[in-house]
Copies of this chain bind each other. A is one copy, B any other.
Amino acid sequence: MKKNLARMALGSALLASFSAPAAVAGGLEDALARGALRVCTVEAAPFVLRTPGDKLIGHEVDVAERLASDLGLSLDLRVVPGIAVLDRLNAGDCDLAVSALAIDPPRLLKVWMTNPYAESDIRIVASAKSPFRTDQLNAEDNVVGVVTGTLAADAARSRLPSATFREFPDLLAAQRALDDGAINALAFKEPVPTLTVAAAKPQRYAVGEGPSLARTADGMAVRKGDMNLLNFLNGWISARRRDGFLESTSAYWFTRIDWMERLKPPAALK
């Protein structure tokens, strides 16, 4: 039964993969012809987030900006729901997706993915006054929030089979449920769990100790068949890894919190 469901899902992925390459030209050629690089992305701190002035900032924004700049193009960043990002890419709404996508088999069936450009761990944050081990959450009365379609959702279910799960369409909704007490834990890619702890004053949360739920490698996505763009991106990742850009961008967004200052409302104009 589970296998049949998987096959149906794969079947539609398969049809999409046959029709997609015919529907749109190569993302690189399209972008160069129009003078702008269209990048689909998803709002989730600290990957993509909005300042009070409605400017998009974050790790993925810095990566996409540098990519467009290296191509001599302007950046046309298209924020879409997390669950729709690969479909929007395949429909031709953007040239590529840069949205902290963990490289995983379901995604690899729908699109081509680049070599990794970032690495992360999936951890769990919970309402807790004192340190706890992740495995202590493996009990029915623990309600763990996850975001639909993320690797964190699969990893948490597999590690905590006895816990109760609630799915949310995006990270913001899940974080609100945690703040309201509707769920008492949230599984997501770092640094979200660590930032959740840091942002709450007084101390309300803690990150589960022990091995992480999963270790992920993130890739960019292009449409199947778009080999010119794939080779460009893999070379770009080699170059920007080697020259230190990817490492320093990750360090800024994933290990520090001073970027939170950029989210404060500006002082009122006189």
Contacts and interface: CB of A to CB of B under 8 A. Distances in A.
Interface stretch (A4-12, A82-90, A139-147, A181-189): A4-12
Given A238-B115, A239-B217, A243-B216, A231 B108 contact: yes
Contacts of A71: 10, 105, 109
Nearest to A242: B217
A208 to B, nearest CB: 17
B3 A72 contact: yes
Nearest to A7: B35
A105 B103 CA distance: 24
Contacts of A116: 238, 242
Contacts of A3: 35, 72-74
Interface string A1-35: 01100110111011001100000000011001101
A74 B115 CA distance: 27
A245 B72 CA distance: 37
Contact of A236 (B7, B13, B105, B115): B105
Contacts of A7: 32, 35, 72
A227 to B, nearest CB: 7
Contacts of A228: 17, 112, 224
Contacts of A28: 109
Contact of A239 (B14, B74, B105): B105
* A interface, over-half SS: helix
Interface in A161-203: none
A32 to B, nearest CB: 5
A108 B238 CA distance: 11
Interface string A233-257: 0111011011110000000000000
A152 interface: no
Given A119-B242, A214-B243, 18 more contacts: A6-B73, A7-B32, A7-B35, A13-B32, A17-B228, A18-B29, A28-B109, A102-B239, A105-B239, A107-B235, A108-B231, A112-B227, A116-B238, A215-B243, A216-B242, A217-B238, A217-B241, A224-B228
